[in-house]
Chains A and B, each alone.
Chain A
């Protein structure tokens, strides 16, 4: 298991390098670019050229990438040009990343906690009203655009009913910052109000963000349970007279979890796309929001860091999936 992990980590570095190079090249091939963004209306050919040279944008793409990589390795991603002009990209990132993590973790937990049990129930009551109802709901869940759902939730629960906050991560209250994870900070400093307040701000955005992963996890769980419960080994378990609890947990669910784990990984990896939309609607100051702003304002340094981190997160999630897969399935472990 340890050797497996180390080997996978090695692959991870390679994947991140290749991914980041591709994305770097792509970003730099986009029209417009930071120079015109910085100079705006006042751009003259001379000032444009001067700034291009000053930013090193006249050099070949590989040279730029190499320099970027060297700086990145020493923790220097440059200065933000648009999201928070003048601030260090790393600082901007560090204040925003915890927000997105909190949001994503809440969303994926919601999706798992509802998706797996409901998927199991639907499979057990296959063809019944509960099954049909939840299939319908999951279809709608996938079909409704995330930002529309986000707007709807915000309108109903924040604007109309006024029971939940509509914007930001926390109201303007006194709160000590420790880790940057607001819910966690409140718990650490025993400022329960701050924790609760941050949690309330998370509810609507994480519901919006959780819908698609929920629907997908639900469907995959249902399909997997249907497959597994007809397997010969479930019949063997029945022939041994085991309790339904053991059959369900040990023989049906454990096997049905294999495809579900993969799905959870893929959905977690895809959360960033949803976060861009959700964070926009709820003015939630996370990296999704920074990504959107960064694109609009050609904030290359910001984008470079975000995209690199996104690649790393994606690959790490994949590693986590493979490790848990190996944990569940001894046949994978053996290889």
Chain B
């Protein structure tokens, strides 16, 4: 049975005097225990909103969340604030994009790690400190005993993200959501953090939802990939299938726009033309149609439904042909 079942998750933002804005539009996916799945897509396609909805971290006012998020046997969307508070940090952990702003600047690293141990594992401060030292050591922070008494500004970017990972994993949650955890870091550090995440989730059997706009990240990490566009899943497949045979023109475009070391010299990168800004809504059309090289007349007249193919899910009227 799946660890997490997301069904028809929809998030609408409503502001007084404005049209409601649908940031996430009927997203469904499963995460099995220990599995790593990717949520991929351009900026603004609803990746963060999806993850915040799962965590119950969306602002309290001005939005409406519908659908279902089942974690094990619990429907998370129907939990009360305080029940959700008991789950967060214990069953579900999260790592965010910018490690500097995600750490409290006036609280020591040690306290920011131990507070979650005290909260969910009922540990006393002293025992929690010992545990925190081990945790920092496990995420590869050298001299962890000293780091505990330091403050975020005294750590490098990579160290900060390691500390945040330690906090998120402190109570051994069964699911970790990482929202672009490497975007704010140097390239070399990015690779280290990804390797660390991979090692940790493999060792502990933690399921991971990896959110990124970078297919390179997905390639090294994810078992299965969901490609999001305009708040909907447009293609889902196991990693190998997706990379070998992208069927949705958007996925195809994303792959064509990543630089490859094995590409013949002089081959040009092909960016996807346009941007999400010229997004048209999904009703009565495909939201990607205006930017799509394969667009047919139907694409601007009929909303494509999600279809199950042999090895993938696809939402497209005119998918890219399989070349083989």
Cross-chain contact A240 with B104 (CB below 8 angstroms): no
Q: Shortest beta-carbon distance, A51 to chain B, in Å?
A: 60
Q: Which residues of B contact A250 (CB under 8 A)?
A: 104, 107, 111, 115
Per-position 1/0 for B89-129, Cβ under 8 A of A: 11001101010011111111001000110011000000000
Does B296 sit within 8 A of A, measured CB to CB? no
Does B260 sit within 8 A of A, measured CB to CB? no
Residues of A within 8 A of B (CB): 231-233, 235-244, 246, 250-251, 254-255, 258, 328-331, 334
Q: Which residues of A contact B107 (CB under 8 A)?
A: 250-251, 254
Closest chain B residue to A330, Cβ basis: B151
Closest chain B residue to A127, Cβ basis: B61
Q: Which residues of B contact A235 (CB under 8 A)?
A: 57, 96, 102
Q: Shortest beta-carbon distance, B146 to chain A, in Å?
A: 14
Q: Which residues of A contact B168 (CB under 8 A)?
A: 239-240
Cross-chain contact B101 with A240 (CB below 8 angstroms): no
Residues of B within 8 A of A (CB): 55, 57, 84-90, 93-94, 96, 98, 101-108, 111, 115-116, 119-120, 151, 153-154, 164, 167-168
Q: Which residues of B contact A236 (CB under 8 A)?
A: 96, 102-104, 164, 167
Q: Shortest beta-carbon distance, B71 to chain A, in Å?
A: 14
Distance between Cα atoms of A287 and B120 in the complex (Å): 56
Cross-chain contact A240 with B87 (CB below 8 angstroms): no
Given B89, B96, B106, which contacts A328 in the complex, CB threshold below 8 Å? B106
Closest chain B residue to A234, Cβ basis: B104
Given A232, A241, A331, which contacts B89 in the complex, CB threshold below 8 Å? A241
Cross-chain contact A239 with B55 (CB below 8 angstroms): yes
Q: A238-B57, A239-B55 are in contact. Are A233 and B103 (CB under 8 A)?
A: yes
> Which residue, of A233, A246, A330, has the highest number of chain B Cβ atoms within 10 A?
A233
Q: Shortest beta-carbon distance, A247 to chain B, in Å?
A: 10
Closest chain A residue to B84, Cβ basis: A241
Q: Which residues of B contact A328 (CB under 8 A)?
A: 106
Distance between Cα atoms of A237 and B116 in the complex (Å): 9
Cross-chain contact A239 with B104 (CB below 8 angstroms): no
Q: Which residues of A contact B115 (CB under 8 A)?
A: 240, 242, 246, 250
Shortest 4 CB-CB contacts between residues of A and residues of B: A241-B89, A241-B88, A240-B89, A232-B101
Distance between Cα atoms of A236 and B168 in the complex (Å): 9
Distance between Cα atoms of A330 and B107 in the complex (Å): 8
Distance between Cα atoms of A239 and B153 in the complex (Å): 21
Q: Which residues of B contact A330 (CB under 8 A)?
A: 105-106, 108, 151, 153-154
List 14 A-B pairs, Cβ < 8 Å.
A232-B102, A233-B104, A235-B102, A238-B88, A239-B93, A239-B96, A241-B89, A241-B119, A242-B89, A250-B104, A255-B105, A330-B106, A330-B108, A331-B153
